[in-house]
Chains A and B, each alone.
Chain A
Amino acid sequence: MSISGNYFAGVDVGSLAAKSVILKDGEIFATGLVPSGVNSVESGLSALNLALETAGLKKEDLIYIVGTGYGRVSAPYANKAVTEITCHAKGTNYLHPTVRTIIDMGGQDCKAIRIDPDGSVVDFAMNDKCAAGTGRFLEVMAGVFKVKLEDLGSIALSATDTVPMSSTCTVFAESETISLVARGERPENILNGIHHSIANRIAGLFSRVGIESDVFFSGGVAKNSGMKTAIEQALKVNIVKPEIDPQLIGALGAAVIARNFARKEGLWA
């Protein structure tokens, strides 16, 4: 079968999920999303193969691949590696050119990113050495309440009150939660407090890089409606509605960068 079109791929191997996006002639053609395993090479390849399968393509049909995320250092299938901060900036700019501020919350870190009209990063700040305020933190909390991760946000939004929570340590917050439950506090109020504590942590990152409209929320945690609301309240902003699954933004940015690299290296005109 002959394949027509110019195909570029981005593969984002994060701590919880591996994602891929294939661009065809500048448009999103196929995507892949799988849980990350211990072997980051296999995780990245699984995500890429899923997108290739969906698109009916072979790896050889791709002109250029960029790897990103913490697994980018082990991505032999990629032509180049770029950090996820740059990729989230490019991916967001590709979908929403008016965005100047990005909140990216992934499995193990959260980032405040400022970008210019070209989608280049002009400043960023990240959480240091702590999983509090990340997807992993929410995963631990979902485990405490024995609810699905994807239901946390809607439960928090049904709260009638906000319980003040620690935002500095996942383990301390977990024990705090267990003791609140034991005291008879309502789960939705505790979860609301957890979401607000994370949002305040994010707001702290923005105290240095600043906020400029429009604001976008990317990464797996962006699918959590309770977190979106808490961040909007903490930062006093409206977050732009994503056009695609926000967890795919890093991989999308990597694919956009792959296209740019291919052009620069004369592989595609």
Chain B
Amino acid sequence: MAITAPFSYPESIKEKFIATPGLKFKDGTTVSSAEIWEFMTKEAPKRFPYAFDAGANNMGRFSDDVHFLSGIKRGYLTLTLKDRVMKEHAAGTPTVLVQGGQAMDAYYAAGGIPVRPGLVMQWARNMHEGLSLRQSETLGLNILESGRRKISIDACNQIAAHAAIDNKVVPIDLIAPFLCLRCSDMSFLVETHRNREHDIPRYLVDYPVDHENKPWAAEYIATELRELIAKIAALSGRTITDEVIFNEIKLENRGRRIATEIAELWWDAENPPTNSTDFFGIAFLANDFVGDPVAAVDLLEQSKIEIEERVRNNVKGFGVPDHAKRLYICGSCVGPNAHHAQTAGAIFVGRDDSWSCISVPVEEEGDPYLNIAKSMLAYPYEQRTEKRAEWTADQVKRSRADGVIFMYQWGCNYQSGVARMISDIVKEKAGVVTTFVEVGELGRSEATEQSTNRVEAFIEMV
């Protein structure tokens, strides 16, 4: 294996970086940019060397665009997740397993920290420090295989997150995802936690899959949300009022609004103002919030100012190829490697899964439970397949994409079933070329030749 020097931030940008605002957190603290710089240049490379692996295969590799300073802060939020969650958990804040693509307003409002399977695995891998990329991935794969042994060798790679919880690699206090059909992970989750010896309580939020023209659906979910929030509040000790929930909704709506404004700016720019890594890393903060919506929204605001300035000055993000082909990515969990795609001449302009819940704000007046329920029922990704495809086609046109890659993980019995239909409808409605690729590499950076080959060939075709 070729040895590549670790990624590092150049000293030449330090002065400019530490002059920028720090990040505010939900516990009322602020971390200065000088502290962030120290962490990202001294502490983190020692504790999490895998993250600084500069090999092109590293899926989680940091952006090379070191002058996009918000990107450094994004890396800080990612690498401090474990410390922040463990600290809060030790102080009594409950951690809650949720599902991908699910809005988190209710969970945060109730005083919990919602974590999705992807974040669980990142957290689990970071519980062991000082690991190289290969060591870190081997750790993750060992957890994955332990999960498969318990459930099925045919389970998709998301089983790793449930195994990490079942094996108590990370402390989770409540398992409370909503049960939609976005991902086979849901079935494997239920099976993993159905008859386990662990004592983690479960509250599965039933999601009426066929909810179109069913007026009772919103009230049905709202009733469940009342119970869910009460359960989390019982663990957190927080008193929940409608005002508390609305405050959280307003904060997360602000995040969703800024992310949308960033995307609009980015899509309309003559030159893409950031590379794919920075664009997705920043815009999707409003989808994930990385354990702290206050910090995420703060960073979104700072990022928007940076991106506005770049667009105003027609600055092209570092790494964006000349005449880059614009690709829209579909599907859950996995996506093509951004660095490989850039080398092949393409940039990513959007992603249906991550954008789905950002695109649906929650109403800020009335019954907060009912409002969250209504927004959950409106997520484009959770609609019947034709409707989801039509929304995706609109996103493809809006983002001025030249092509669409639908990627899904082997073992995902839901996305594999809709990939072709969505690809075909988007091709017809948006008038762009599409392809779908099944991969087996979720959580793995090495041995990805088969999927890389397909993506490169598609870019050449575009």
Residues of A within 8 A of B (CB): 70, 73, 82-86, 109, 120-126, 128-129, 208
Contact = CB atoms under 8 A, between A and B. Distances in A.
B362 interface: no
Interface in B431-462: 433, 435, 437-440, 449-450, 453-454, 456-458, 460-461
Interface centre among B435, B439, B457 (most CB of A within 10 A): B457
| Most chain B beta carbons < 10 A, residue from A70, A123, A128 | A128
Instruction: List the 4 closest A-B pairs by CB distance, nearest first.
Output: A85-B457, A83-B457, A128-B438, A121-B461
A130 to B, nearest CB: 10
Contacts of A126: 454
Contacts of A82: 460
Nearest to B459: A83
Contacts of A128: 437-438, 450
Nearest to A86: B460
Given A126-B454, A129-B410, A208-B420, A83 B438 contact: no
A72 to B, nearest CB: 9
A82 B438 CA distance: 22
A121 B403 CA distance: 14
Contacts, number: 41
Given A123-B433, A129-B438, A129-B440, A83 B410 contact: no
B461 A123 contact: yes
A85 B460 CA distance: 9
B433 A83 contact: no
A41 to B, nearest CB: 13
A85 B454 CA distance: 9
A114 to B, nearest CB: 10
Contact of A70 (B420, B437, B453): B453
Contacts of B454: 126
Contacts of A122: 433, 461
Contacts of B458: 124
B94 to A, nearest CB: 39
A13 to B, nearest CB: 12
Interface centre among B410, B420, B450, B460 (most CB of A within 10 A): B460
Contact of A83 (B420, B437, B456): B456
Contacts of B424: 208
Given A126-B454, A129-B438, A129-B450, A121 B420 contact: no
Contacts of B461: 85-86, 120-124
Nearest to B454: A126
A126 to B, nearest CB: 6
A208 B421 CA distance: 10
18 contacts: A70-B449, A73-B449, A83-B456, A120-B461, A121-B457, A121-B461, A122-B433, A122-B461, A123-B433, A123-B461, A124-B435, A128-B437, A128-B450, A129-B410, A129-B439, A129-B450, A208-B420, A208-B424
A196 to B, nearest CB: 24
Nearest to A123: B433
Nearest to B461: A121
A109 B461 CA distance: 19
Interface in B392-439: 410, 420, 424, 433, 435, 437-439
Contacts of B439: 129
Given A121-B460, A123-B433, A83 B453 contact: yes
B342 to A, nearest CB: 15
Nearest to B410: A129
